[in-house]
Structures are given as structure tokens and as C-alpha cells.
Structure 1
Amino acid sequence: MTQVKYIRKLFFEEGKNVSEIKRETGHDRKTINIYLEKEDWNEEEPTIKSTSQFPKLDPYKEDIDTWLLDDKKAKVKQRHTAQRVFNRLNEKYKEEFDCSYRSVAGYVSQKKKEIFGKCKQSGHLPLEHIPGEAQGDFGDADFYENSQIHSGKYLNLSFPYSNQGYCQLFKGENQECLFEGLMLIFEHVGGVPQRIWFDNASTMVTKILKNGERNLTDGFIRFMEHYRFEAAFCNADSGHEKGNVEGKVGYHRRNMLVPIPQFKSLAEFNKELLQKCEIDAQREHYRKDGTIEMLHSEDRQALLELPAVPLDVSKYITVKTNGYGRFYLNNGLYEYSVSPKYANSRVLIKITANKVIPLDESHREIVRHDRFYGNYKQQSMKWLPYLTQLSRCPGALKYTGIYQMLPESINDYLEKCSKSDKGKILQIIATLTEKSGFTCAVETVASALQYDVTDTDSLVSLHNRLHGNVIELAPIRVAKNIPEFKLYAPNLADYDAKLNEAGEQNADQ
């Protein structure tokens, strides 16, 4: 505008002609005349410049995008190259297709970076989410299992495209909980999200590098490769970048975990949670037309196939047992039993999200413990291997440390038994323990002490009465119209006479 004003000043104020202005300013005559004749100085309304690259490919971009998105479900070596895309377009549209290979290759390269997350801005979430992508995060929630309260964690997996969410409840937030929770959700929805966004939890990330890359844990890398999904991570301290799942954490707590859940089996409750999430999806989407369930069907169509073989996400460690066949975890806070057979031995331990399982030399389960959580001392004792071992050599009972570990009621009961019966009694207690648990077996023994019975049949009978599924029938009420029958009193003298008569006959013979 400064140049325009100067040109007009030279003409209107200083009286110079167009040729003089041309020599002085260097502008051509046509440009000078336009500015001298201009009367309307309104600015033109701005327009948004088209950012579309390769505009000649616009009629074919939908096909290309579809093929490349489908590639996310395929192995790397079976994905489209630019040449293959170019050939398919030629095959489909024949003479109508008039674009060069260079245009196709340029667009395919750009689109692959966008789809497979290799663009420079891959550290940030896209504003619009494509079907088949998910976000994951944990939340905090208390729950009661078998009347015992736990300060638990629940894994949330949300699909931003449809706003569908799933959650699974655990006692902790370790790697085993993360993997088992994801696997349960994968199996429930029948596939694996193409890409999952996470924060930088230590279960997955060991170090954030300066260039934005991550060093990942070996276990997480193995999990990713097995299920073939791509993991994306938020910037440090920027959990809001996965805002959809952040909202789902609160939504699931308010709608699925209030009031505080109470149940007997965590595994069964987690199955119920998945069904509740499906029912919840029947509501309308907050922004898009249709229900969450309808939109989530597009998510499911875009999922990767489940692997043919599930991944064993258990952790395996080797421990040293003490003289009682027990071992410690978590810096000595947690004590678990194995068996007297494995006293002072090295034992392989399988650890899952909820179980601690000692294995024998053939990798067979010896016993199974519920996994402890919490920063305080806890002990789990499985008596069956100990009782079985003692039943084989009951004479050595008092000379082992196991005798002091047994409940007082069992020791008192064994004192009343004869030496020859102790082995049988211990075997019966072991059988009752296997059938109903050690606590129920101890209650049976305590009841037998009250009745002062020491035989095995009485123990079994008492146990069935106390802990068996015995149906108690209500007393029968007799209708008033039924006549009352008089009690019959037999004449025993007649029987005596007959017996005497039979005796006399036998004597004569």
C-alpha cells in the first residue's frame, strides 16, 4: 500500500505522467494505470487456500485410503506399495485413470505417514479419531472380595471414535494386571485396536528420550509384537492428551463401581463389568448421530485379528524356600507356602495378576495362592500338601515344626486318637481340606471335639452336616380333616407263646 500511495501522489499531486512514474518506480504502465484508476478500495473477502495436495488424485483418494487403512490389519510384508496402488487403480479405472505414478507415490507416502503414525507430529493426538483406535489408563476404586476390602485399580480402554469404553478391576497396577486386562477386553470385543494411546507408566516405558522416543520394557515390546498393535505415548505430564479415556475413568467409577462392589469372585465380577459396558453403549452418542453401540460396530470392523495363540503374560521367578517349605516375596512382606517336600529347595514360581503358583520340576502346579497386595506383612498357608505328607508318617508329627503351625483344635483332636489312627485321621482331614478348604476342615474337627468322637466316619458325617449341601425340609402340617389314628400296642404275650411253641417243637426233633 505504501508503493500504491506513492504512485498516486506522483500523478495527482506532483503532476507527473505515466512514463515518468514508470521510470522512477520501475512498475510497468499497466500496473500504474490500475492503481491510478482504482476507486473501490474495499478489501476482498479472504478465502481459505486449498491444502489438498495431488488434486488430480481426488476422485481416487477414497479407494487409496481404504486400501491403506486395511493394511493395518495385514503383516508388513503384505501391505500395499505405491506401485501396487498404481496398478490397482489402473486395473479398476482403466483408461479413465490418467494420473502419473509419481503423483500416486507421493500421495501414498504422505498417507502412510499419517496412518501408521510416522509423521513429525506423531507425539500428539489427532483431533478426529479413526475407527479402531483406543486409549488406555488406570483408575482407583475400592471393592470387597469375600467380605475383605481392597484398595484396587481398574483398567479402562476407550474407543474415541465411538466413545465406547470397557473396564476391568484388579488389586494392583503392575504389568501382569495391564496385560491380563487388555487381553480380556481384546477377547471380549473379538479383535485388537490398531493403535492404543497410553501415558508413560513404568509398566511400559523405562525412559523418555530427548527426541521424544521411548525405551520400552521387554515385556511390553513382546506384548505389542504378539498382538500386532501400535503403541503411542502422550508427552510427559500430559495425560490430558488422551482425554477420552480420562473422561471414561471417572464415568466408569461413577456408573459401574458405585456403590462399592461386593462379590465372591473377582474374575466373575469382571465378566459382569464387560456386559455392563455393552448395555451402557445403547445410549445416544453425545455428539454424533446414532448410539455408541452402532458407532462401535465400525470400531470392531477395523480391529486387527486376534492371534491364533494367546500370550502367556505371567511372570516367572525362582525362589529359595526355608525349612518349612515356604518362601517370601516383596522384600519379605509376603509369605507363601509350597510343600514340606520342597523345604530348603529352589522352586519356580508363576505369578499372574491375581495368583502366585509354585510349580514342580515338570512345571505342574503344586499349590495356588491368591496374590497379595499392600505394603504390610501377609501370610498364605495351603495345608493340603503338609497334611498329605504328615498322613504318610504320623509318628514324626511332633518332631517337625509343622506340628506347632497346626491349629490347636487339630492338635487336641490328634492327642485323643490312637497312634494307629492318626495317619487315617490326617488323611481324612486332608480330603476334607481338598473338598471344602482348610477352614471348613478345622471347623469340623472342632465340632468332633465337642461330641468327643474320634473315628473317621464321624468326621465325614459331621463335615457333610456342617458344610454339605443338605436340603432342610420344612415340617409337614397335617390337615384337620384327616382322622387321627390310635396308637397300636402289640400284645407281646402272643409272640412269646408262639416262640415257646416253636422251641418245644425243635426240642422234640
Structure 2
Amino acid sequence: MRSRVEQFERIRRDARDEDMSIRALADKHQVHRRTVRAALADAVPPVRKPPARTAPVLGPFEDLIRGWLVADLTAPRKQRHTARRVWQRLLEEHQAVVAESSVRNLVAQLKLEVSGATTQVMIPQTHPPAEEAEVDFGEFQAVIGGVVMKLFMFVLRLSHSGKAVHVAYANQSQESFLDGHVRAFEALGGVPVGMIRYDNLTPAVIRVALGRERLENPRFVALRSHYGYDSFFCIPGIDGAHEKGGVEGEIGRFRRRHLTPVPHVGSLAALNAALAAADLRDDARRIGARAETVGVGAAREQPLLRPLPEVAFEVAASLSCRVDAKARVCVRQSHYSVPARYAGRRLEVRLGATTVIALDAGTVVATHTRSLHKGTEDLVLDHYLEVLGRKPGALAGATALVAARASGAFTPAHQRFWDAARRGLGDGPGTRALVGVLLLHRTMSIAAVSAGMDTAVAMSNFDPDLVAVEARRSMLATITPIPVPLPPTAGPTAAIDRPAPSLADYDQLLREATA
């Protein structure tokens, strides 16, 4: 374009300065007379029209490919033609010699034609501070304790500042959905005063009605009422994704930025700590060409949020579970132990997003971290000690003992005491002695009981009472006595002027009694 502009300039200069004719200008500059006329008419050369290209090889197959794509409209989604499959069929069935790239371009064009899809125009939106937020779940993978797991990331994003809170869960249950709101509101320091946008997640919506009407889950309604905000439900399916495009894009951005490569952590709590740290780092980023960072916008928005209620919403679901013969309750296909004395009874179980709490008449009897897998057992050795005192032979192969060793609750000091007690007393009495020592942990620290066991092993005396005495002595030795100030020293004792004691009154009573 630059050389043509310069050529037009030379032609126009010669026509102006030399007063040359069109034929003379064409001869001098070796161009057609049409070019001279165009240069004299406008200093900017006209844009050249691209030539209409034909597809001599693919042209005969265009109707055939269009027919395949029309038939795909009623075929299962995962069994429809891809551009590569179309190219393969042309080679195999019609011996067409054509480049795969040419087929890809044609298939992309025909798919738009066949589906009738048109570009949907989006209206730019302005979100006032503290007015709106968006919520969604996103999937990702992480390695927890050496096991590759598919996890779900709850995301709540403020629409104005772009500040987002991310929390990882093992599922998309209602407890996770509610718990995510509670954690997000606490992290943000308030609640949007307007509405929060949702898609039609099962924890919030029981049934989609006509239009935007929804039959909402009562627990979700209670959460919304507790925090005092409104909800807005998007159009079902992909058609409504743009109505909460901020959180949709945030899930992908966060996954690429902070979850790539796949994170390796020891527990779900450690993973959530890493996500919270990533949220803090994201305060320094800018969205697009905004002048302020996300953190600055969030700090300006935070005072305008609705204050949090004095008490957080109770997200745990209350269940009634029967304790089986192995002193376990089954909750969502996972087993959790309770004290053995509750076997055969029915207990209240509060199922939270990350905890499982068993209660008897309102008193907590067992607390567990919610399992990340189905079909697992979370057993606490302390819950079985009374039974093991009567059945000592069951301890060696107990699943609860394996779990206690893995968690560090059953230490090498316990193993040394058990081995020495069995050598000195025999298997049964030695194991009973260990059970008696394990019962001490209910009232004493691990360090004190360990010191007591070491002393008992050194003395070759495995009586649990001796371990208790030595544990208390160890506890007292670590207590620093508090000095008590003595009263100031009194001066010399002053003489007290008082009469000597007399028994006259007693003698008079004695005479009256004998009279």
C-alpha cells in the first residue's frame, strides 16, 4: 500500500507541475490510464478486492459433507463428525486427495450454516459497589495424600471489584454449597446488599419451573434469609452462561494460574490454605485495563457490604443414624466410630461440609473429619478401649490400631511398653496393661503418659497405676511453682495486759449440776 501511495503522489505531482495529459502520465509511469485517473481522483489508492477463490477439489464434496453434518443434528453428541473424521471418510470412501486443513475450514463454515447459529450480542454491564456477586462450582484435580482426586471448587466473586473466594470440596453436596457461602462471606467481611447470581445447582434449586421461576431448596432459602440477600437464577444450560460470565471466567483463570501444575498436598485443609493464600496474591492483579488492582477495589467495596450476622449460619445437616455392632455410624457410604457403649443405639449426627459430629442428647460423643472417599472407615482407638479390656486378643489386628499408628496417636513409646508388658506378663495381661495406659490419655497429656511408660519399662513394672503415678509426677515436675510473698516481719512481741484465765464460772456450773 505504501508504494502505491507514493506512486499516486508522483502521478499527481507531475499532473500538477508539468500539466501532463493522462496518456503522457501513463507512459511516463508505466501504468494503465485507469490507474492515472484513480490517482487524479483520490490521493489514497482504492482497496484491491481479493479474488474469489474456488475449491476445485472440495467443491464436488460440499453437498455430501453438508448432508453428514445435517444428520449429526439428531445423532448422539459424542458420536458426531469432527473435521478429522470428515477428512478420513473422504479419503477412505471417496478417494479424495485433499488437505486436512482445507476440510477443517469447510467443516467450520458448514457447521455454522447447518446449526443456524448466530453471534449473540452482549450488552456491557456496570455493577455498583457491593451490589452483586456470582456463585458457581468448578472441577479440578489434585493429589491428596498420594491419591489423585477430582475435587470441586466453590467460587463466590464480587461483580464490581472482581474479588473472589475459592474453597475446595470433595463433592458438590448441599453442605459444601452452604459452607462455601459462609466461608466466602467471612473472608469478604460482609454480604452483597443486592443479589447473587446462580445457575440451577441442585443444592439451591429442586425444580426449574416456567421462565425464571424456581422451586428452591428450603435450606438454601434459610441461608438467603439469614444473610439477607436476593438470588437471581440464570437461564438453564449454556444459553445462560453469559448471565454470570464473571465467575465462569474466574474459574478458568484461577485453575490455569494457581492449579497448574496439579497440586500435591497432604490434606484437604492444606489445599484450602493454599487456595486462601492464592486469593491474597490475586489482590495485586489488575482486571483488563483497570487503573486499580482487585485488592484496592475490594477494600473500597468492603465497607459498603451488609454486615455479617452475629451468628454464622448452621450448615450441618441433622441425621439420625443407628450405631452398628462395630460401634460405627454410616454417613453417606462412609463409616465413623463412636464410643462402644452406644452400639445398637440411635444417635444424632450432624453432617457438615468437612466434619461429622455424633451427639447423644445434645452432648458431643465423637468428632471426625469428613471422609473424602466413599466406603472408608474412620475409627478412633479410644472408642474401643473398654471392649479391648475384655477382649485383649482383638487389639493386635484392630483397624483402629492401624489408624492410630498412621495418625501418630499410637507412638513408639506405646509399642515399647506393649512389647515389654507382653514379655513380662504374657499376651493377655500385657495387652490389658496397655489398655489401662491408653485410658490415661483421656485425662493426661501424651508427654506425661509417655514419661510414665518409660519409667515403668525401666522398672519392669507394668501396672497402669504405676504409670499414672509417674505421669502425674512428670506433670508436677514441669509446673513452675509460683512464689508467694511472705508477710512483713513483725517487730518484738509486745506484752499484752490481760487477766489470767479463771475456772470460777465452770466451778459454779459444776455445783449447780450436782445440787
TM-score normalised by L of structure 2: 0.55
> Aligned ranges for residues 375-454 of structure 1 at < 5 Å?
376-387=374-385, 389-390=386-387, 394=389, 396-397=390-391, 405=398, 416=423, 417=425, 422-431=431-440
Distance 1:183 1:137 in 2: 14
Partner of 2:243: 241
1:255 maps to 2:239: no
> 3-state SS of the aligned residue for 2:284?
coil
> 3-state SS of the aligned residue for 2:252?
helix
Percent identity reads 24
Partner of 2:328: 326
> Aligned ranges for residues 358-369 of structure 1 at < 5 Å?
358-361=358-361, 363-369=362-368
Distance 1:229 1:435, change over 3 A: farther
Distance 1:259 1:433 in 2: 43
The offset of 1:436, in angstroms, is 9.8
| Contact kept in structure 1, 2:283 and 2:293, CA below 8 Å | yes
Partner of 1:299: 301
Unmatched tracts of structure 2, length 5 or more: 1-121, 403-414, 472-515
Distance 1:321 1:275 in 2: 40
Distance 1:402 1:320, change over 3 A: farther
| Contact kept in structure 1, 2:418 and 2:434, CA below 8 Å | no
> 3-state SS of the aligned residue for 2:364?
coil
Deviation string 1:298-346 (CA, Å, 9 cap, x unpaired) is: 432331110111111111100111222212233xx32221121001110
| Contact kept in structure 1, 2:154 and 2:180, CA below 8 Å | yes
> Aligned ranges for residues 57-456 of structure 1 at < 5 Å?
127-132=125-130, 133-194=132-193, 195-237=195-237, 238-267=240-269, 269-330=271-332, 333-361=333-361, 363-374=362-373, 376-387=374-385, 389-390=386-387, 394=389, 396-397=390-391, 405=398, 416=423, 417=425, 422-431=431-440, 455=462
Distance 1:435 1:139 in 2: 45
Deviation string 1:232-266 (CA, Å, 9 cap, x unpaired) is: 11111122321110010011112222233333453
The offset of 1:422, in angstroms, is 4.6
Distance 1:297 1:169 in 2: 24
| Contact kept in structure 1, 2:168 and 2:272, CA below 8 Å | yes
Distance 1:413 1:344, change over 3 A: farther
The offset of 1:269, in angstroms, is 4.3
Partner of 1:21: none
The offset of 1:296, in angstroms, is 2.4
Distance 1:413 1:197, change over 3 A: farther
* Residue identity opposite 1:380 in structure 2: D
TM-score normalised by L of structure 1: 0.55
Aligned residues between the structures: 324
Q: CA RMSD in A?
A: 4.0
Distance 1:307 1:126 in 2: 34
Distance 1:261 1:456, change over 3 A: farther
> 3-state SS of the aligned residue for 2:196?
strand
The offset of 1:166, in angstroms, is 1.9
The offset of 1:381, in angstroms, is 1.2
The offset of 1:202, in angstroms, is 0.4
Distance 1:281 1:125, change over 3 A: farther
> 3-state SS of the aligned residue for 1:367?
strand
> 3-state SS of the aligned residue for 1:353?
coil
Distance 1:372 1:456 in 2: 38
The offset of 1:125, in angstroms, is 9.1
Q: Which moved further from structure 2: 245-254 or 352-361?
A: 352-361
Distance 2:135 2:191 in 1: 13
Partner of 2:89: none
> 3-state SS of the aligned residue for 2:167?
strand
Bigger relative contact order, structure 1 or 2 (CA pairs below 8 A, ≥6 apart): 1
> 3-state SS of the aligned residue for 1:136?
strand
Unmatched tracts of structure 1, length 5 or more: 1-123, 465-509
Distance 1:455 1:145, change over 3 A: farther
| Contact kept in structure 2, 1:349 and 1:356, CA below 8 Å | yes
The offset of 1:150, in angstroms, is 3.1
* Residue identity opposite 1:359 in structure 2: L
The offset of 1:427, in angstroms, is 2.4
| Contact kept in structure 2, 1:130 and 1:161, CA below 8 Å | yes
Deviation string 1:269-319 (CA, Å, 9 cap, x unpaired) is: 434433432321222331333222222234323311101111111111001
| Contact kept in structure 1, 2:422 and 2:430, CA below 8 Å | no
* Residue identity opposite 1:455 in structure 2: F
The offset of 1:412, in angstroms, is 8.3
